[in-house]
Structure 1
Amino acid sequence: MKEERPIYFTDPEKLADYVIDKVGKNITLGMCLGLGKPNHFANAIYQKAKQDPEIQLKILTALSLEPPTWSSELERRFLEPLVKRVWNGYVNLDYLTAVRKKELPPNVQVAEFFYKAGGFLDNEHMQQNYTSTNYTHAARDVRDNGMNVGGQLVAKKVLNGKTMFSMSSNSDTALDAFRTIGQMRKEGKRVVAVGQVNKYLPFMYGDAVVNPNIFDAVLEAPDLHFTLFGAPRESVNIIDYTIGLYASTLIQDGGTLQIGIGSLGDAIAYGLQIRHQQNEVYNKVLLDLSVNEKFGDIVHRVGGTGTFEEGIYGSTEMLVDAFLHLYKSGIMKRKVYDNVHLQRLVNEKKISVRQKVTPEVIELLAEQNSIHARLTRKDFDFLQEYGILKSGLTYENGKISDGKEPFVADLNDQNSKDRLFKSCLGTELKEGIWMHAGFFLGPPDFYDVLNNMSEEERMQINMTSVLHTNQLYGNNPYSSEELKLLQRRKARFINAGLMVMLSGAVVSDGLEDLRVVSGVGGQYNFVAQAHAIEDARGALMIRSTRAKGKEVSSNVVFNYGHTTIPRHLRDIIVTEYGIADLRGKSDQQVIAALLNVTDSRFQEGLLQRAKQSKKIPSTYQIPEPFRNNYPERLESILGKYKEKNMFPIFPFGTAFTEEEIVIGKSLREFKEKAAESKMAIVPGLIGQMVTSVPAEAKPYLERMQLDNPITRQEKIMQKVVLLALKNAGQI
């Protein structure tokens, strides 16, 4: 007897028992990156393995999420109220806690293909079990590593009288992984697909909508709807903003955009906002930065500095919070159709998205052989789906019925054509899509915005597989290469790196001692895609320097023992000092361009290394306009705009209070100074012991519960906070 799917469970432990009964005690659990993990089920299966050493559990996933933790009483006082406010109700992942505490049982292995940057640099288990893979290969590699259980968090909704699920935050690899499980099930293999319903997860449309029967078991109960993990926005400093401004000049009106999460992504979005909403001010900032003088050629050839009249369309692996701000600002307004015939007409400007339906629309489709002269069932369904024919019509035995006598829809017959155009046309073409994305993760208010959107608005976002967003190949069920090329015109794929070598090769994910910082994710995919699309470009944003205490190092380096993006895929590098156009250039041209955007404290040393290697003429000198690349210059230029309330620390808001922003920055700087030299902070601490508490320090001390210290430890902590605030110029 065929088993009905899915079986519903209200108890995670009973679900775990069901899974073990189905697949046995060798369990390889595959879960998606980031938000879409079924935390209660993951914890239940982990606890089963912890209690029973005969169970061999391997967890294959990426970016397991955890709220911040503290290692001292002072850190606790700062972080605990924040954790309670932002992450209250989030269910921690037990396996991740064990990994962090180095308490993972010997019968449990955790392998990830992407980490939070720097999160596991010194964790032996995670470094040894890291799996390096392109994002587009992740579902395949999880399959090849023996996945027999898949787990996914889903949203639930009744559509047209039928209960449906949405993969929501993680269509990225889940669609393909669960399709694989379905195929394995047909082959008679012992597999289980598990879903967990979460009412807080936005119900997203497009390819994300699936039938519940793709799951064998579903976990759902009122007390299992946990708070979604909130990823706080990062602060954006002057360096980030300058990089974002340069990157914003590379984006053409009417083009396509991909950006990532973090301060640099927010900086680009803010740059695009002021470009569109305060264009005169935007161009004045660019003038002050000498953008046209130094980089005008690539800006005018590749990008632009005007407002967005046609708008931008998004094709990205990650739907980041910044995209919604660009949408609200009227920038993400170029919409596309997931239909090659209509999109071709849109590109040719013969029709427009959501235009009034006219007979010409059908005639244009017939002219390009998109429909038959004598409409077939397939033609009829297509025309009705996109609003070209009105709803309520029926098609039977080759004839259309509009409530009257059925007729053959033959465009070569004038009477039939007249009747079709007179009584069967819809009002307007279906709404288009402004975003294709694979996954999302963001702050709590980001999820609120998605949940509060109308259904029509959410339908304009197609959550889909990374096989769709991250590559052009048509070897998947989501889209053809032809359609992707039509949609992704003038694409700009913008990501971030750690270092760039003078060869143009980029380091983004690891160190030369083989330790993994994060993972390649989809970066290689987008770099390769930028080379594959005729009018596309790819840019990698790199802060020109990094600092450890007083020691400053260049992120533009002669060479390095690890590579993420090879030199033959070099394209555009953006630092806070400008734009280096590397594509198709000779090595000496590449070196010269990179030196132009290098911090001037390191230019001469790098130039000499290049000369020693005979990669640039011995007589070459860095042009004078590029020899003033100092952070102080950028501070002075953007500083005057900050005084006019531009370039705020958090352009799109923050979960931190004003006091927390000040305290956090002050304590971080104090910690860095103390790490450099503990003796350097002693005089200041001694001074604080005999100094009264200034009135302006009161709100900060109240936030840290140190306004009325009682114990000796509290009194010392109070003095530390006061010294940190004083050193940071806050009191």
Structure 2
Amino acid sequence: MTIDNLYTAKSMTADRAVALIPHGAKIVAGLAVSFPPALAASLADRVRAGALGDAILYAMLAPAASAAAILAPDLGDHIRRVSLFHGGLERANDALLAGGTAPFTELLPVPFHQIPRALTEHIGVDTLITTVSPMDANGYFSLGTDTDYALAVARSGARLIVEVNPAMPYVHGDCLVHVSDVTALVEHHALLPQIPSLPRNATDEAIGAIIATMVEDGACLQMGIGAVPDAVCAALMGHRRLGIHTELLSPGLVSLIQAGVVDNSAKTLHPGKSVFTFAMGDQPLYEFLHDNPALEAHPVEHVNAPHIIAQNDRMLSVNATLQVDLSGACNSEYMNGRQYSGTGGQLDFVRGAYASKGGRSIIACHSTAAKGSVSRIVPWLDGPVTTPRTDTHIIVTEFGWADMKGKSLAERARALIAIAHPAFRDDLERAARERRLF
């Protein structure tokens, strides 16, 4: 059968495609931008009709534009939802359900680079629904913005149902699936979710400027999500010969490529290529991704594996946190008594960057939260430890930076108090004495 005939034979409506998913299925949806809206809506209709029971849906950073139907609070009793990393939709649903009897979205705590193994080996996911680019002349679809865990699931023998969207960029790298491996395909043209960059304030800019001074020309960058990493990118415009090896490709990193600051000429792994595992942002980012040979997407078990990250000399990772305790441990996922995000890839890059020759791992945060009423540097964490104190390298606030490596607990506490907001330093000093750190 020719490639075109295979395509035609597997093409169907979204309703017919989701009808192939049996009761008790373990389904995973594409991450973020690749969460397929037509398939999600049809899946929600099937669940509401009682035609799909005892199923589990795994998702990560599900955007409301695509996922609201299947993640609607009223479906919680009919399909179990498990998040691999909470986004705004999960947070909003959990807030809505607080105090009620409907089930919250569960969280699977797992480092990003281990998610493919968790899905295929420990959970045994049997169905992947995801958005892909149109097929190329050789019968391959690109996973586009989201290779991450999707490629491993697609190659595991799971049922592969794809939503072919002309708006999804065709991306190069290890991110292709062949039409012969597809169970069903649905054509659906829709704009990709737009995730605007958060506005930056003076504190973000101050932190960005501090971090930029630590970046050498020729360094290899990983930037996390948020205003602080964006501020770092803006402060790096005077640098040269930078490289990119990052889980997330963001508009801030793309601006460095377009300005010639990033050319990947000094990279020791994947030289000449900007490497990422997922991308999200605005329409210009998606257009920049399309058929761009200077960019490569690779699966997250490669991009985020600490021993792979460490093969890039002068690796510099920048991630944000919600709290740092006086010993240097970081809670980056839990706030106000609720799950806020997830484990993600922070620890992957903390460990990988520090293991790199000349590498630095940086965790940044504002010194305060809640309009200055709460210190982010605290005696004890209010949530789980996302990055253990044994792994933390450099902590940055708008008041400076503190290197945790080689410091005793007392030395760490003093260094962190010095970069806390001045309004909280006396209280933190007393707390350190109560903890018997001094």
**TM norm. shorter chain > 0.5:** yes
Aligned to 1:13: 15
Structure 2 unaligned regions, length at least 5: none
Q: Deviations over 1:497-553 (max 9, x none)?
A: 01111110111001484x2111011111111212332421111011100125xx711
How far apart, CA to CA, are the structure 1 residues paired with 2:41 and 2:64?
14
Structure 1 letter corresponding to 2:381:
Y
Please say if 1:449 is aligned against 2:293.
Answer: no
How far apart, CA to CA, are the structure 2 residues paired with 1:37 and 1:133?
20
- Secondary structure of 2:139's aligned partner: strand
Structure 1 letter corresponding to 2:317:
F
Match of 1:233 among 177, 180, 197: 197
Q: Deviations over 1:207-244 (max 9, x none)?
A: 11332222121112xxx211100011211000110011
How far apart, CA to CA, are the structure 1 residues paired with 2:310 and 2:379?
36
Please say if 1:576 is aligned against 2:398.
Answer: yes
Percent identical pairs in the alignment equals: 24
- Secondary structure of 1:30's aligned partner: strand
How far apart, CA to CA, are the structure 2 residues paired with 1:247 and 1:441?
23
Of Structure 1 and Structure 2, the greater strand share is in: 2
Structure 2 letter corresponding to 1:195:
V
Please say if 1:437 is aligned against 2:276.
Answer: yes
- Per the TM alignment, residue 35 of structure 1 is displaced from its structure 2 partner at its CA by 0.8
Q: Deviations over 1:454-476 (max 9, x none)?
A: x4xx1111101111111144xxx
Structure 2 letter corresponding to 1:132:
P
Q: Deviations over 1:75-131 (max 9, x none)?
A: xxxxxxxxxxxxxxxx564112x22xxx11522111111112644552456645211
Aligned to 2:324: 500
Return closer, same or farther for 1:119/1:243 CA change in 2, 3 Å cut-off.
farther
Match of 1:258 among 203, 222, 236: 222
- Per the TM alignment, residue 157 of structure 1 is displaced from its structure 2 partner at its CA by 4.4
Structure 1 unaligned regions, length at least 5: 68-90, 183-190, 277-306, 344-431, 474-480, 617-731
- Per the TM alignment, residue 337 of structure 1 is displaced from its structure 2 partner at its CA by 8.0
Please say if 1:315 is aligned against 2:230.
Answer: no
Q: Deviations over 1:276-326 (max 9, x none)?
A: 1xxxxxxxxxxxxxxxxxxxxxxxxxxxxxx42xx1110110111111100
* Number of residue-to-residue matches in the alignment: 426
Q: Deviations over 1:427-461 (max 9, x none)?
A: xxxxx53311000110223223334xxx4xx1111
- In the TM superposition, 1:326-337 aligns within 5 A as 326-335=256-265
Return closer, same or farther for 1:496/1:127 CA change in 2, 3 Å cut-off.
farther
How far apart, CA to CA, are the structure 1 residues paired with 2:113 and 2:144?
18
Aligned to 1:598: 420
How far apart, CA to CA, are the structure 2 residues paired with 1:450 and 1:136?
23
Q: Deviations over 1:611-653 (max 9, x none)?
A: 333312xxxxxxxxxxxxxxxxxxxxxxxxxxxxxxxxxxxxx
Aligned to 2:296: 462
Aligned to 2:112: 135
The TM-score, its normalising length taken from structure 2, stands at 0.91
RMSD after superposition: 2.3
Q: Deviations over 1:182-226 (max 9, x none)?
A: 2xxxxxxxx521111110111100111332222121112xxx211
CA contact (8 A) 1:231 1:444 kept: no
- Per the TM alignment, residue 575 of structure 1 is displaced from its structure 2 partner at its CA by 0.4
Return closer, same or farther for 1:111/1:252 CA change in 2, 3 Å cut-off.
same
Return closer, same or farther for 1:434/1:203 CA change in 2, 3 Å cut-off.
same
Q: Deviations over 1:3-41 (max 9, x none)?
A: x96642241112222x14xxx322221112201122211
Return closer, same or farther for 1:121/1:163 CA change in 2, 3 Å cut-off.
same
- Per the TM alignment, residue 54 of structure 1 is displaced from its structure 2 partner at its CA by 5.8
How far apart, CA to CA, are the structure 2 residues paired with 1:210 and 1:331?
33
Q: Deviations over 1:341-364 (max 9, x none)?
A: xx8xxxxxxxxxxxxxxxxxxxxx
Please say if 1:113 is aligned against 2:84.
Answer: yes
- Secondary structure of 2:260's aligned partner: coil
How far apart, CA to CA, are the structure 1 residues paired with 2:85 and 2:76?
22
CA contact (8 A) 1:49 1:56 kept: no
Structure 2 letter corresponding to 1:438:
T
- Per the TM alignment, residue 602 of structure 1 is displaced from its structure 2 partner at its CA by 0.6
CA contact (8 A) 2:222 2:245 kept: yes
- Secondary structure of 2:361's aligned partner: strand
- Per the TM alignment, residue 154 of structure 1 is displaced from its structure 2 partner at its CA by 0.6
The TM-score, its normalising length taken from structure 1, stands at 0.55
- Per the TM alignment, residue 53 of structure 1 is displaced from its structure 2 partner at its CA by 5.5
Aligned to 1:523: 346
- Per the TM alignment, residue 262 of structure 1 is displaced from its structure 2 partner at its CA by 2.0
Match of 1:197 among 135, 152, 164: 164
Structure 1 letter corresponding to 2:415:
A
- In the TM superposition, 1:347-362 aligns within 5 A as none
- In the TM superposition, 1:569-718 aligns within 5 A as 569-616=391-438
- Secondary structure of 1:26's aligned partner: coil
Of Structure 1 and Structure 2, the greater helix share is in: 1
Please say if 1:554 is aligned against 2:375.
Answer: yes
Return closer, same or farther for 1:106/1:150 CA change in 2, 3 Å cut-off.
same
CA contact (8 A) 1:582 1:590 kept: yes
Return closer, same or farther for 1:51/1:574 CA change in 2, 3 Å cut-off.
same
- In the TM superposition, 1:262-273 aligns within 5 A as 262-273=226-237
Structure 1 letter corresponding to 2:287:
D
Aligned to 2:313: 489
- Secondary structure of 1:591's aligned partner: helix
How far apart, CA to CA, are the structure 2 residues paired with 1:126 and 1:336?
50
Structure 1 letter corresponding to 2:265:
K
The structure that has the greater radius of gyration is: 1
- In the TM superposition, 1:155-304 aligns within 5 A as 155-158=133-136, 161-180=137-156, 182=157, 191-220=158-187, 224-273=188-237, 276=238
- Secondary structure of 1:250's aligned partner: coil
How far apart, CA to CA, are the structure 1 residues paired with 2:430 and 2:220?
40
